[in-house]
């Protein structure tokens, strides 16, 4: 898909500086872009590459326009503008309407005529697949589930029974939605499974990364609100609720019944223990352990950076003595105090 | 499935208080249950909801019976009783005997006549699938593997060759059993793969959560004993042995040759390094790193809770000086001592 | 496959001591090997088992030869020699040439005549599958991808579009290569997806463990060089580059644009944050958080070992006071200093 610089500026609400007639066919980084590419400058760190760029056009903030050797599209948020223009120039493949003959679709399933069901996919009884949905190869859509319009389900995704997924979602390969939550009652015979009877409800515009897992609720549902983005290998336990537009980076997890607010950002590898809640607008930095509810928006942290091993070992050994060190310090203070009094 | 309150009390060994004639069709939480639902009170935290419940019956401990406005089933372990009654009212779908025509089953595989092989599943040569087993859509049962009676294998599970799985197990979607362990020998050419020749042996009543992985042993086998429950995204490396009725929460992992005792509880995100052992009845709290064998039953802990970022940063900076701080404290103590002597 | 001890010594470059005529059919551990088995002694810890072994032959270092009660193959690197002999005696199943009739292969895909495409696998348009490759059951090879000769793709692997994989690679079940990287631009409407347009390029002799994920690059590619070994549940984000012969243990992850050098060893559960680089020959011990670039080869560490819970709790509480403790220590030192001056 090609577009003139002028038309991109018009359609994406940017002020144009320079020659708008050039035809743009693709995006490229500042350093390697040629004249048919549009690039962007969002991170000031790459500012040095601007002067030498051979891009056909650059999306940037007003302050950099004078230094741009080629046409530029001025945006208050160059990265978001870039994202929209890149999606326009490189749209994802749209659904090829129809059910591949090798797919297995239950008679009672409803597949919109514009949806694509890829080779060797399975759609179980009572499931509903909306307009322009893509059900990827080898994916399984469980009984009585519902997939909203324009949602894309990649290869080998597994969706359990009675899962509801909204519009324009993206589920990457290996994602599992609606497996049983981890619930067992203990008695003298060991562990008795607690039936996991709830569903999973996923809003619109949700993206879930490869091999992430979202369990169904125990009695009530697990809920993921609109616009949530989960990275790869993320774990969402039963009865968790994730507020709209929250993002969770790779390898993070929310234990059972955690409630996460809107617009939170959860760093990679972070664990939130069960039955806590995070208010809206909380940023938790990577690899934290959140053990109690967070009631105040702000930034929270919880990991110790790696160090050269011998240094780390000495400090880690002292950590094991920390309580005793504190007691000794207290004793020293008292002794000094008593001397002062004399 | 409906049952009278009386019949539930009888069949699950509870003392009944109140009207036993009401018909119960499902379970529901105390707060939202209607007259056809049975609920439970296990966590004293929810005690306040009891007085107002509209449930048809409530499972609870004797001490709460007097406060219950409806029929109640008195149990010493209300949660376990609830689990059993919920499973009775909401049984999982049983196997629909037969092999779907789209499934690919090797001639030399043995499929019990009562087992279900779902659409697009694969059962390889020499494999054996027991009575009432469900092999879910897209699941693969490897060559010469054996699946015990009443085991349920969800969509897109991958079971490698020569894996043995017991009776009544549940494997959730995306589980991988019997991939190669991570074994390589290093020399001047880089890493040479050490063939992973062992099997995986899984006992009865084992449940394994979505996208968890259990590797085969190097020469000997990886073993998971009866009643073990693994949550999602759990990693079990080659030659690990997990004792009966041990549970491991999501995102925890056991490195090669770890031996875990019976009835242990391993918190989410915990890592156990290789070649260590944990005795029976060890509780390891979430996100710990277990670096040496645990020889005494008890509770172990190993994570630091996240804090407001600026506070965390100050403390983390001090952690890097901890050994020096301890040295300075020692010096202060000596100086004080010498002054005392004067 | 059987071989005489003499022929193994000859073919694998070992000095033979003792009877070379015995026929060896398999490998076994020192403690349980019988006369048709070859065993090895690599870890001095198992030295005590040597005297009583009933193995037909033992691979060991010269220093142990005199204590070996049976034939021995002397090697400078017994473990690497064992790995090669084990692979010779127990070769992985080779490809059974041909496309299973249940597999779905696009007309425009190229499948080498010697390759195996297993039941219910999918090879999309324009993909190329090399000589003796095995595409496992339920695996999906995306459009325009390329799989080099002798690569083995296990059950239910998902490979996205335009992924390039080298020769002799092993991808275990559930692996996802080429899902979108986690890139979103934030503005007042929430998160806008940044199209992930790069590819994934994987070299030769790379092994990737079960359920690991390697995302495609944003504009440029994600690159994994020759000989890299990734364990299970490893996350490789967009635009990461991993140098040749680096290994990453289970549950470790590299965030976006991380550059890892050659011959690094990354311990299990380690997280590397985005946009940092590690030089060659870095060893990072398990469960570390690497937050800044490592410019010097060596060993780095970053986790605190679990402790008995009450001890841990006391020390963890003091951690939260650490900055204040340090301030108090400074005050004590000053006070002592001032007293000394008097």
A231 touching chain B per CB within 8 A: no
Cα-Cα-Cα-Cα dihedral sign, residues A167, C220, A48, C276: positive
Query: Which residues lie closer than 8 Å to C10 by C-beta, 6 or more apart?
Result: none
What are B266's strand-pairing partners? B248, B284
Q: What pLDDT shows up at residue B189? A: 87
Is C186 in the same domain as C315?
A: no
Provide the H-helix boundaries in C3-72. Answer: 5-11
Q: Which band of pLDDT confidence, cut at 50, 70 and 90, is reported for residue A126?
A: very high
Q: Is residue A261 part of a domain?
A: yes
Which residue in the list C26, C238, C245, C275 is annotated as catalytic? C238
Query: Residue C336's domain spans which residues?
Result: 309-341
CATH number for the domain harbouring residue C197 = 2.160.10.10
For B74, phi then psi, to 5°, come to -90, 125
Q: Which of C188, C159, C194 is nearest to C173 (CA)?
A: C159
Q: What percent of chain C lies above the pLDDT cut of 90?
A: 95
Tell me whether C229 touches chain B (CB under 8 Å). yes
Residue whose pair of structure tokens reads 């929310």 in the numeric block:
A254
A190-203 confidence digits (pLDDT tens): 999 999 999 999 99
> Which of A38-42, A45-49, C162-166, C265-269 shows the lowest per-residue confidence on average (mean pLDDT)?
A45-49
pLDDT band at B342 (very low <50, low <70, confident <90, very high): low
Which 290-329 residues of chain C touch chain A by CB within 8 A? 290-292, 298-302, 304-305, 307, 311, 314-315, 317-319, 321-322, 325, 328-329
Domain assignment of residue A305, yes or no: no
Q: Which of C109, C235, C137 shows the shortest CA–CA distance to C153? A: C137
- C325-338 average pLDDT score: 93
pLDDT, tens digit, 9 for 90 and up, residues C130-186: 999 999 999 999 999 999 999 999 999 999 999 999 999 999 999 999 999 999 999
Q: Are residues B170 and B287 in the same domain?
A: yes
Three-state helix/strand/coil letters over chain A: CCEEHHHHHHHCCCEEECCCCCEECEECCCCCCCCCEEEECCCHHHHHHCCCCCCCEEEECHHHHHHCCCEEEECCCHHHHHHHHHHHHCCCCCCCCEECCCCEECCCCEECCCCEECCCCEECCCCEECCCCEECCCCEECCCCEECCCCEECCCCEECCCCEECCCCEECCCCEEEECCCCEEEECCEEEECCCCCCEEECCCCEECCCCEEECCCCCCEEECCCCEECCCCEECCCCEECCCCEECCCCEECCCCEECCCCEECCCCEECCCCEECCCEEECCCCEECCCECCCEEEECCCCCEEHHHHHHHHHHHCCHHHHHHHHHHHHHHHHHHHHC
Token pair in block for residue A11: 């359609």
Size of interface A-C (CB pairs under 8 A): 222
pLDDT at B341: 55
Q: Chain C, 150-169: which have a CB under 8 Å from a chain A CB?
A: 156, 158, 160
DSSP codes of every residue in B124-155 = -TT-EE-TT-EE-TT-EE-TT-EE-TT-EE-T
Q: Do A35 and A110 reside in the same domain of the chain?
A: no
Residue B251 confidence (pLDDT): 98
**B290 — phi, psi (to 5°)?**
-95, 115
Last residue of a domain, one of C33, C68, C89: C89
| Closest CA relative to residue A153, chosen from A182, A107, A111, A195 | A111
- Number of residues that this document lists for chain C: 342
What pLDDT, on a 0 to 100 scale, did the predictor assign at position C6?
97
Residue A338 clears pLDDT 90, i.e. is over it:
no
Encode pLDDT of A214-227 as tens digits: 999 999 999 999 99
Structure tokens that stand for A307 in this block: 């160090």
CB atoms C185 and A268 under 8 Å? no
Please give the structure tokens belonging to residue C294.
């490592």
**Of the candidates C27, C60, C89, which is a domain's last residue?**
C89
Q: In the annotation, is A100 catalytic?
A: no
Higher per-residue confidence, A58 vs A46: A58
Mean predicted lDDT score pLDDT of chain C: 96
> Same structural domain for residues A118 and A63?
no
Do A125 and A267 lie in one domain? The reply is yes
Residue B222 tokens, joined: 């990886």
pLDDT tens-digit map of A252-267: 999 999 999 999 999 9
Chains that touch B (3 or more CB pairs under 8 A): A, C
Give strand pairing partners of A247. Answer: A229, A265
The two tokens of residue A110 are 């409803």
pLDDT given for residue C69 in this prediction: 96
B89, closest residue in chain A (CA to CA)? A195
- Structure token digits, residue B162: 């020569």
* ipTM score above 0.95: yes
In this predicted structure, what is the pLDDT of residue C97?
98
Substitution target from C210, C311, C336 for chain B, most B beta carbons within 10 A: C210
**Residue C73 confidence (pLDDT):** 98
Percent share of chain C, pLDDT over 70: 99
User: Looking at the structure, do residues C204 and C337 belong to the same domain, yes or no?
Assistant: no
**Cβ of B191 under 8 Å from any chain A Cβ?**
no
In this complex, is the C-beta atom of A289 within 8 Å of any C-beta atom belonging to chain C? no
Burial class (CB in 10 A: 0-12, 13-18, 19+), A296: exposed
Instruction: Pick from C315, C316, C321, C336 the residue to mutate for testing the A interface (most A CBs within 10 Å).
Output: C315
Contact list, C136 vs chain B (CB under 8 Å):
140
- Neighbouring chains to C with at least 3 Cβ pairs closer than 8 Å: A, B
Residues C253 and C221 in one domain: yes
Could you tell me what percentage of chain B is helix, strand and coil, using 3-state DSSP and rounding each to the nearest 5?
20, 30, 55
- CB-based contact B185 C29, cutoff 8 Å: no
Task: Identify the sign of the CA torsion C285, C286, C292, C293.
Answer: positive
C292 to A305: CB separation less than 8 angstroms, yes or no: yes
Q: DSSP 3-state assignment of C302?
A: coil
Biggest alpha carbon–alpha carbon distance for chain C = 96
pLDDT score, position C237:
98
Query: Do residue C32 and residue C74 come from a single domain?
Result: yes
C294 and C313 fall within a common domain:
no
pLDDT on residue C342 = 52
Q: Are A56 and A36 in contact (CB under 8 A)?
A: yes
Has residue A56 got a pLDDT over 60?
A: yes
Tell which wins on pLDDT, A339 or A153.
A153
Question: Which of A156, A186, A195 faces B86 most closely, judged by CB atoms?
Answer: A195
- Give chain A positions within 8 Å (CB) of C193: 83, 87, 170, 207
Would you say residue A79 has pLDDT above 70?
A: yes
- Probe site for chain A from C213, C333, C340 (most A CB atoms < 10 A): C213
Per-residue pLDDT band at A189 (split at 50, 70, 90): confident
Say what the pLDDT of residue C1 is.
72
Closest C-alpha among C250, C193, C247, C198 to residue C219: C198
Nearest one of A57, B172, B214 to C233, comparing CA atoms: B214
B74 and B149 belong to one structural domain = no
Overall average pLDDT of the B322-342 stretch:
88
Q: Is A236 on the interface with C (CB under 8 A)?
A: no
Task: Please tell me if residue B183 touches chain A, with a CB cutoff of 8 Å.
Answer: no
Q: Which residue in this structure is represented by tokens 């050269």?
A: A308
3-state secondary structure of C104: strand
SS3 C11: helix
- What's the pLDDT score for residue C338? 86
With CB atoms and an 8 Å threshold, state whether A318 touches B309: no
How far off is chain C from B142, nearest CA to CA, in Å?
9
Contact map slice: B 14-53 vs C, CB within 8 A:
none
List, for residues B42-66, the tens digit of each pLDDT value.
988 889 999 999 999 999 999 999 9
Alpha helix segments (H runs only) across chain C: 5-11, 78-89, 309-319, 322-341
Q: In this structure, are residues C14 and C81 in contact, taking their beta carbons and an 8 Å threshold?
A: yes
B291-304 residue pLDDT tens:
999 999 999 999 99
DSSP secondary structure string for all residues of C107-144: TT-EE-TT-EE-TT-EE-TT-EE-TT-EE-TT-EE-TT
Alpha-helix runs per DSSP H in chain B: 5-11, 78-89, 309-319, 322-341
Looking at the structure of chain A, the number of domains it has is 3
Q: Cβ(C250)–Cβ(C256) under 8 Å?
A: no
How is residue B46 annotated by DSSP? G
Residue C337: per-residue pLDDT: 87
Q: How much is the pLDDT for C188? A: 86
State yes or no: pLDDT of C340 exceeds 80.
no
Q: In chain B, what's the furthest Cα-to-Cα distance?
A: 96
B261–chain C Cβ distance below 8 A for any pair: no
Tell me the chain B residues in contact with residue A273 when contact means C-beta distances shorter than 8 Å. Answer: 268, 286
Are both A115 and A233 inside the same structural domain? yes
User: Residue B7 pLDDT > 70, yes or no?
Assistant: yes
In whole angstroms, what is the distance from residue A306 CA to residue C286 CA? 10
Residue A111 and residue A233 share a domain: yes
* Tokens 């059987």, located at residue: C2
**Nearest Cβ partner of A209 from C160, C179, C233?**
C179
Q: pLDDT band for position B188 (50/70/90)?
A: confident
Q: How far is B6 from chain A (nearest CA, A)?
A: 22
Is pTM beyond 0.90 here?
yes
| B321·C326 Cβ contact <8 A | yes
The pLDDT, as a whole number, for residue B71 is 97
Instruction: Choose the catalytic residue: A90, A110, A238, A275.
Output: A238
Q: What's residue A191's pLDDT?
A: 97
Q: Which uninterrupted H or E stretch holds C158?
A: strand C158-159
Shortest Cα distance from B208 to chain C (angstroms)? 14
CA angle, A154 as apex, A151 and A158 as ends, to 5°?
Answer: 95
Cα–Cα dist A288/A273, whole Å: 11
pLDDT at B1 over 80: no
Q: Are B86 and A187 an interchain contact pair (Cβ–Cβ within 8 Å)?
A: no
Report which of B328, A279, B111 is spatially closest to residue C332, judged by C-alpha positions: B328
Contact A113, A132 (CB under 8 A): no
Cα within 13 Å of Cα(C84), Cβ side = 19
Give the residue-averaged pLDDT of B246-260: 98
Chain C residues inside the 8 Å CB shell of B233: 211, 233
User: What's the pLDDT at C341?
Assistant: 55
Which CATH number characterizes residue A74's domain? 3.40.1390.10
pLDDT digits (tens, 9 = 90+) for B111-170: 999 999 999 999 999 999 999 999 999 999 999 999 999 999 999 999 999 999 999 999
What is the Cα–Cα distance from C259 to C295, expressed in whole angstroms? Answer: 12
């Amino acid at each position: 898909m090609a577009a003139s610089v002028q038309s991109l500026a018009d359609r994406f609400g940017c002020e144009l500086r320079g020659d708008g007639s050039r035809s743009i066919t693709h995006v490229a980084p500042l350093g390697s872009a040629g004249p048919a590419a549009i690039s962007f400058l969002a991170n000031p760190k790459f500012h040095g590459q601007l002067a030498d760029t051979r891009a056909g056009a650059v999306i940037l903030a007003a302050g950099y326009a004078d230094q741009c050797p080629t046409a530029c599209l001025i945006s208050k948020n160059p990265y978001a503008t870039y994202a929209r223009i890149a999606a326009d120039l490189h749209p994802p493949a749209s659904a090829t309407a129809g059910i591949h003959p090798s797919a297995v679709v239950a008679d009672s399933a409803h597949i919109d005529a514009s949806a694509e069901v890829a080779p060797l996919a399975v759609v179980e009884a009572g499931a509903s697949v909306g307009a322009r949905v893509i059900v990827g190869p080898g994916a399984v859509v469980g009984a009585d589930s519902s997939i909203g319009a324009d949602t894309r389900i990649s290869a080998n995704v597994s969706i359990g029974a009675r899962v509801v997924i909204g519009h324009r979602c993206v589920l990457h390969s290996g994602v599992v939605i609606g497996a049983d939550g981890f619930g067992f009652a203990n008695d003298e015979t060991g562990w008795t499974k607690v039936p996991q009877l709830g569903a999973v409800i996923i809003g619109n515009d949700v993206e879930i990364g490869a091999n992430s897992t979202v369990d169904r609720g125990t009695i009530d549902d697990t809920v993921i609100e609109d616009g949530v983005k989960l990275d790869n290998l993320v774990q969402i336990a039963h009865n968790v609720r994730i507020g709209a537009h929250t993002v969770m980076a790779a390898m993070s997890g929310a234990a059972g019944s955690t409630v996460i607010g809107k617009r939170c950002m959860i760093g990679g590898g972070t664990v939130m223990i069960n039955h806590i809640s995070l208010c809206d607008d909380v940023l938790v930095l990577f690899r934290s352990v959140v053990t109690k509810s967070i009631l105040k928006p702000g930034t929270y942290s919880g990991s110790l950076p790696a160090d050269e091993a011998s240094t780390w070992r000495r400090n880690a050994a002292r950590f094991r003595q920390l309580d005793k060190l504190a007691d000794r310090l207290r004793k020293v203070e008292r002794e000094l105090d008593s001397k002062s009094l004399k």
